[in-house]
């Protein structure tokens, strides 16, 4: 079993052992990322041999399975589709994905 925090899943937002973004976080608002977000981007960058800012769904699936065996290719694909981070080539824009993960959760 992993010592990582459990994954919280909701129909509109998902978190992968993440903390909330600091006010003024990156993304459409601009600004600096949290250290955890920067570390996650660096981890994804290891799968980005072309330096394109994109990784395959297969690589994302492998990455997520390392966090928790619950993840599979179908769940990874649904997560990225829900986040709107699939490029025209069918790859995951990982910086956008990380920004989405760390975005503040809207108040209910």
Q: How far apart are CA 99 and CA 19, in angstroms?
A: 12
Model confidence pLDDT, tens digit, residues 37-76: 999 999 999 999 999 999 999 999 999 999 899 999 899 9
Model confidence pLDDT, tens digit, residues 3-45: 433 334 333 333 443 333 333 333 433 456 788 999 999 999 9
In Å, what is the CA distance from 77 to each residue of 4, 37, 58? 21, 20, 9
């Amino acid at each position: 079993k992993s010592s990582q925090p459990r994954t919280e899943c909701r129909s509109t937002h998902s978190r992968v052992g993440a903390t909330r973004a600091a006010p003024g976080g990156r993304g459409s608002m601009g600004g600096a990322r949290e250290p955890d977000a920067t570390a996650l981007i660096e981890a994804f960058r290891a799968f980005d041999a072309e330096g394109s800012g994109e990784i395959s769904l297969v690589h994302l699936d492998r990455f997520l399975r390392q966090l928790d065996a619950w993840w599979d290719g179908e769940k990874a694909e649904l997560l990225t589709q829900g986040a709107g981070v699939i490029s025209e080539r069918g790859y995951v824009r990982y910086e956008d994905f990380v920004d989405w993960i760390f975005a503040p959760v809207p108040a209910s």
